[in-house]
Amino acid sequence: MSMRIPRLSRVALPVMGALTAVALAGFAPVASATTTSTVLYVSATTGADSATCGPAASPCKSITQAVTNATAGDTVKVAAGSYDEQVTLSKRLTLVGPKAGNSYIPLGYVGWAVVAPPSTADNGFLVTPGGAGSVIRNFVVEGAQGEGILAEHTAHVTIEGNLVVFNDLGAFQSTPSYPECAGSGSVPGDCGEGIHLMSTSDSVVARNTLFQDSGGVLLTDEMGPSAHNVVAYNTVYDNSLDCGITLASHNPAAAPNGVPAPKMGGVYANRIIDNTSDNNGVLGFGAGVILAGPIPGTAVYGNVVQGNILYDNGLGGVTIHAHAKGEYMDNNHIVGNVLYGNDTTGNLGKPGDVSTTVLTSSGPKALLTKTADIIVYSAGDTITGTVIRDNSFAKAYYGIWTYHAPSILSGNQFAKSIARRADQSPAPAKVTITGPASAAVGSTITLSGTAEPGQKVRLYRVVNSTHEWLAATMASATGAWKLKVTLAKSDEVFQAFSYGQRSRWLTVK
């Protein structure tokens, strides 16, 4: 292993044990019932690999050999030392490193089990679908070409109490071999960041420290949804190329035409709670916590960002970005966070600033030219249902900045030196509705009208004293919309909604 000594003056981890039932009640991975469980031992200094190694008296030398010898449900205890390998979990196991003996990481990682994969490997730990229910606890993971820890298309995984540092080395190579390191257009590759839940659900990432990776914790949906995860009590800092904690949908099947398809993809119903995220993305465009979709059909919704301390990050402390039409980014909650001094490198009116840029007749224009702690921005459809409450703000120019994102605000506390909120959304077009004055019950009628170009239009009706939402459509580039509905009774009443606006009532007799 090529040991790199980190700058550890500020790295503090609590002594690691199992998460308390109170802290994350209801989120612990569900283990399968098992009749027996064996403990296998690993020692880099006294062990020897064989098909029978693992007992305390004859430990394995490598973690990989112990994993091979183990049966699903077993525990592998790893002694302090250096392990130059990628560890792949394709069955349910609990891997536990030694406790360091105090709450600080000593120089040279003394007392820790250090997993440092060779340059021919992609990850430090890889959890495959068969590894559902596995636990990775109390390791140092460093020097991977891609993610330090990757859980791929699996569930019920616990990643706890690890120090994940100096990974994503492929990001610094001109022609990286690892696919996650490859860029897409003008967006550089991030190599998957420190810990990556890819299409992984019902899992816990807690009490880890991540620094000097390309980014910190990443949740994505390439092969299916990442949902119902908890990211809690982590310390994420000095990841200079990307965000501290990222919820990013990459799957265009997650919300076809902007309508969620939760079985296909999406990053939803996750909880990001009580983390500290600072000084991330200062060499790129990285937020403390970001929720983002880059292309039509992607979806990040129904997530909660709560109780975090977010400061000195390159973009907003919490940033929600919808980069295209046809995304679904609604109903995210930002609650009870402490935010200050964010947006240090982005949103300053720089040409080509992708974070808040719109195209005008005279070329690209950056809308946000001051710093902001919370940014909610859509370049396409309106983001609705965002709740921003009980947060505290300081040191940025704006506490909250929104564009095409009417939000629900309450209970926020602002330092006297900052502007509370700015909404730079253009005034939306008036919503209109037209249709036949009368029609036979049971017949199909066409309702049409105008709305903000390219925005979603939803139809609402009252029938037999019952109120209900009907189908939705998109207004065209000229603002025209059209929907067909079946008339259930005479004297039905319809109304169209779009971008926070509503039409007059239309009665069809």
- The secondary structure of 219-279, three-state, reads EECCCCCEECCEEECCEEECCCCCCCEEEECCCCCCCHHHCCCCCCCCEECCEEECCEEEC
Q: Which of 86, 279, 321 is nearest to 187 (CA)?
A: 321
- Strand ranges across the sheet with 230-232: 39-42, 75-78, 94-96, 135-137, 158-160, 204-206, 230-232, 271-273, 304-306, 333-335, 386-389, 407-410
Q: Are residues 448 and 419 in the same domain?
A: no
Q: Which of 196, 195, 145, 194 is nearest to 173 (CA)?
A: 145
Counted domains in the chain: 2
Q: Over the range 121-133, which residues count as b (16 or more CB within 10 Å of their CB) and which as e?
A: bbbbbbbbeebbb
CB atoms within 10 A of CB 118: 13
Q: Which of 432, 310, 334 is nearest to 383 (CA)?
A: 334
> Are 103 and 87 within 8 A, CB to CB?
no
Q: Are residues 280 and 369 in the same domain?
A: yes
Give the DSSP H/E element, type plus range, for residue 65: helix 63-69
307: which 2 tokens? 């109780």
At residue 478, the pLDDT reads 81
Q: How far is the C-alpha of 248 from the C-alpha of 68, rounded, in Å?
A: 34
Give the CATH number of the domain where residue 356 resides. 2.160.20
Which positions ≥6 away from 91 have C-beta within 8 Å?
67, 70, 71, 72, 130, 131, 134
Q: Are residues 283 and 337 in the same domain?
A: yes
Q: How far is the C-alpha of 239 from the C-alpha of 435, rounded, in Å?
A: 56
Which neighbouring-strand residues pair with 272? 231, 305
Residue 245 lies in a domain: yes
Q: How far is the C-alpha of 209 from the C-alpha of 232, rounded, in Å?
A: 11
Q: Are residues 452 and 341 in the same domain?
A: no
Tell me, yes or no, if the pTM score tops 0.85.
no
Q: Which of 177, 190, 67 is nearest to 122 (CA)?
A: 177
> Are 422 and 433 within 8 A, CB to CB?
no
225: which 2 tokens? 């949804």
DSSP state of 300: E
At residue 346, the pLDDT reads 56
At residue 174, the pLDDT reads 72
At residue 433, the pLDDT reads 93
> Are 381 and 354 within 8 A, CB to CB?
no
Q: Are residues 492 and 418 in the same domain?
A: no
Instruction: Count the residues in the chain.
Output: 509
Give the CATH number of the domain where residue 498 resides. 2.60.40
Q: Are residues 274 and 308 in the same domain?
A: yes
Domain boundary among 423, 454, 475: 423
Q: Are residues 76 and 204 in the same domain?
A: yes
Q: How far is the C-alpha of 197 from the C-alpha of 496, rounded, in Å?
A: 39
Residue 169 Ramachandran class (φ > 0 left, ψ -120 to 50 alpha, else beta):
alpha
- Cα angle value 245/196/184 (rounded, 5°): 85
Structural domain boundaries enclosing 501: 444-508
Q: Are residues 407 and 458 in the same domain?
A: no
Q: Are residues 193 and 238 in the same domain?
A: yes
Q: Are residues 413 and 448 in the same domain?
A: no
Please name the residue that has the structure tokens 């860029």: 183
Residue 366 lies in a domain: yes
Which positions ≥6 away from 113 have C-beta within 8 Å?
44, 78, 79, 80, 81, 83, 97, 98, 138, 139, 140
Domain boundary among 423, 455, 470: 423
> Are 391 and 414 within 8 A, CB to CB?
no
Q: What is the separation of C-alpha 135 from the centre of its chain, rounded to a whole number of angstroms? A: 21
Residue 251 lies in a domain: yes
Residue 483 lies in a domain: yes
Residue 113 lies in a domain: yes
405: which 2 tokens? 């994102």
Mean pLDDT by groups of 10 residues along the chain of 509 residues = 33 40 49 70 98 98 98 97 97 91 67 94 96 97 94 98 91 77 62 93 96 94 97 94 94 93 97 96 85 94 98 92 91 97 64 50 66 89 92 91 90 87 71 91 92 80 78 82 88 82 85
**Helix/strand/coil for 129:** helix
Q: Is 259 exposed, middle or buried (0-12, 13-18, 19+ CB in 10 A)?
A: middle
331: which 2 tokens? 């109903």
Q: Are residues 485 and 371 in the same domain?
A: no
Domain boundary among 392, 423, 454: 423
Please name the residue that has the structure tokens 């816990």: 204
Residue 140 lies in a domain: yes
Q: Are residues 452 and 381 in the same domain?
A: no
Residue 431 lies in a domain: no
426: which 2 tokens? 């253009």
Residue 132 lies in a domain: yes
Q: Which of 221, 223, 227 is nearest to 201 (CA)?
A: 227
- Is the four-CA dihedral 101, 103, 106, 109 of positive or negative sign? positive
At residue 8, the pLDDT reads 35
